[in-house]
């Protein structure tokens, strides 16, 4: 399964704060910043955390916030894959098909603040999260480790997957910085 790993690496001499690696091979330094200004970020926060409580109110505000997710995702994509060498590695992995792609986001909780599931290739119709597996990994040691029991997998048709992912994004709590 093709793998893209985006991992926090603070304090690099070149000013980067992360690396992106492909199939446990080449790694490239990148700089990740919040693609939005504070007010735009607050609109996304409202949309994901509060709007679904009363979805029939503030519909224009909700439409604007929903439309901004595409812009946010494309800006985040440019930060990760904007370098021509990195983009070439990414395009090579796509030859195996997006449904086979596995993306790992690794870092301390603050690195998980960006809306990684919105990351979107401007040349594709949908965000990567709707076509590939995106997994977040916390690299901060836990005081009390928890064990996870196995559970049955969920199989959905693609028409159900889009609303399911956005509902999951909307109800997921924001990470604490």
pLDDT in tens, 139-150: 877 777 777 777
Largest Cα separation within the chain, whole Å, is 49
pLDDT exceeds 80 at position 106: yes
Instruction: Please state, in angstroms and rounded to a whole number, the distance separating the CA atoms of residues 2 and 159.
Output: 24
170 pLDDT more than 50:
no
Which of 47-56, 104-113, 168-177 is the least confident region?
Answer: 168-177
Cα distance between residue 48 and residue 174, in whole Å = 9
Establish how many alpha carbons lie within 13 A of residue 78's alpha carbon, considering only the half-sphere containing its beta carbon.
10
**Average pLDDT of 86-90?**
95
Q: How many CB atoms lie within 10 A of CB 11?
A: 7
Residue 144 has what pLDDT? 73
Average pLDDT over every residue of 49-76: 88
Query: Mean of the pLDDT values across residues 45-52?
Result: 84
Distance separating alpha carbons of residues 61 and 71, to the nearest angstrom: 16
3-state class (DSSP) for residue 28:
strand
**Residue 74 pLDDT greater than 70, yes or no:** yes
**For residue 49, what pLDDT band results from cuts at 50, 70 and 90?**
confident
Instruction: Band the pLDDT of 126: cuts 50, 70, 90.
Output: very high
pLDDT beyond 50 at 160? no
């Amino acid at each position: 399964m093709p793998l893209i790993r985006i991992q926090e690496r603070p304090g690099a001499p070149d000013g980067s704060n992360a690396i992106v690696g492909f199939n446990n091979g080449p790694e490239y330094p990148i700089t990740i910043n919040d693609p939005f200004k504070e007010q735009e970020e607050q609109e996304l926060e409202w949309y994901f955390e509060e709007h679904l409580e009363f979805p029939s109110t503030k519909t224009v505000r909700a439409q604007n916030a929903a439309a901004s997710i595409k812009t946010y995702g494309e800006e985040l994509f440019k930060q990760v894959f904007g370098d021509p060498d990195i983009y070439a590695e990414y395009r090579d992995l796509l030859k195996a098909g997006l449904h086979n792609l596995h993306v790992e986001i690794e870092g301390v909780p603050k690195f998980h603040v960006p809306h990684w599931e919105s990351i979107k290739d401007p040349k594709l119709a949908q965000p990567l999260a709707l076509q590939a597996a995106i997994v977040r990994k916390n690299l901060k040691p836990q005081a009390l480790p928890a064990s996870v029991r196995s559970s049955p997998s969920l199989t959905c048709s693609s028409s159900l997957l889009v609303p399911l992912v956005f509902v999951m994004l909307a109800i997921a709590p924001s990470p604490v910085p």
